[in-house]
Structure 1
Amino acid sequence: MGPVAGEDAVCRAMEELAYNLGRADRLHVAGDLENMLSCTQALGRIADEIGMWKLHRVAEDVAQCIQDGDGVAVAATLARMARVGERSLYAVWDLQDLSV
């Protein structure tokens, strides 16, 4: 993959991450844990593919809490996932601003 295709892939992945972060929160508020689980797992796969290891690990933690049926832990790990995800996205955006 060349530099242009690589940049496009990272940009698409970032868009998907941002979308899934918001979607996971909306699904949690709606109490739709089944769809929240698949959303969180998708977010974790995307994070893993582009090397956002911490976000990947936290997404796995959220998924495990959903599967365990621990509502308090779901809320806590979801909040952590949002913080880690936002910091990760901002870091990549800042790097892109430096290269332009």
Structure 2
Amino acid sequence: MEQVTLLEQREAVKLDSNRLEELFLLLGEASAEDVVCRALEELAARLSHTERCYRELRFDDMRKSARSLIAIAEQIGMQMLANVAQDVTRCIDHGDGTALSATLSRLLRVGECSLSEIWDLQDLTI
């Protein structure tokens, strides 16, 4: 009898609170909250778009979408998300389909965890 082990994949994400503090100091509370909320909406849309491009084999569009994730994530202190999006672009550039599949899955996990983490902050003013 074969035994199948299901590996639970969890990503521990940590937001760069210093980056968020800088944003709030630079823009003020109301403007910074607006920037963060718009960034979160855009991240969610880009993650979905990146996955859709993968399913449709549109790798040039997928690369563009992943590159935009990097800039948005860095802006609001989601460095891990930015790093994994960079890994996705490297997989596309190297034409490594197996690594791309695994790295995209990681990007989606990290993205989901990152979005949840920042939404869980009750007070964005830190």
TM category, shorter: over 0.9
Hey, what's the Cα distance between the residues in 2 that align with 1:5 and 1:90? 21
**1:16-95 residue pairs with structure 2 within 5 A?**
16-95=42-121
Q: Larger relative CO (CA 8 A, sep 6+): 1 or 2? A: 2
**CA RMSD in angstroms, aligned pairs only:** 1.1
TM superposition shift of 1:49: 1.1
Give the letter for the 2:123 counterpart.
S
Hey, what's the Cα distance between the residues in 1 that align with 2:64 and 2:123? 34
Hey, what's the Cα distance between the residues in 2 that align with 1:81 and 1:20? 11
**Segments of 4+ in structure 1 off by > 6 A?**
none
| Partner deviation per Cα, 1:11-67 (whole Å, 9 max, x = no partner) | 000001000000000000000000000000001111011110100100000000000
Question: Which structure would you say has the larger Rg?
Answer: 2
Sequence identity of aligned pairs in percent? 45
Structure 1 length as normaliser, TM-score?
0.95
- Segments of structure 2 that go 5 or more residues without pairing to the other structure are 1-26
- Segments of structure 1 that go 5 or more residues without pairing to the other structure are none
TM superposition shift of 1:99: 2.9
Residue 123 (structure 2) aligns with: 99
Give the letter for the 2:40 counterpart.
M
Hey, what's the Cα distance between the residues in 1 that align with 2:67 and 2:115? 18
Equivalences, count: 98
Residue 3 (structure 1) aligns with: 29
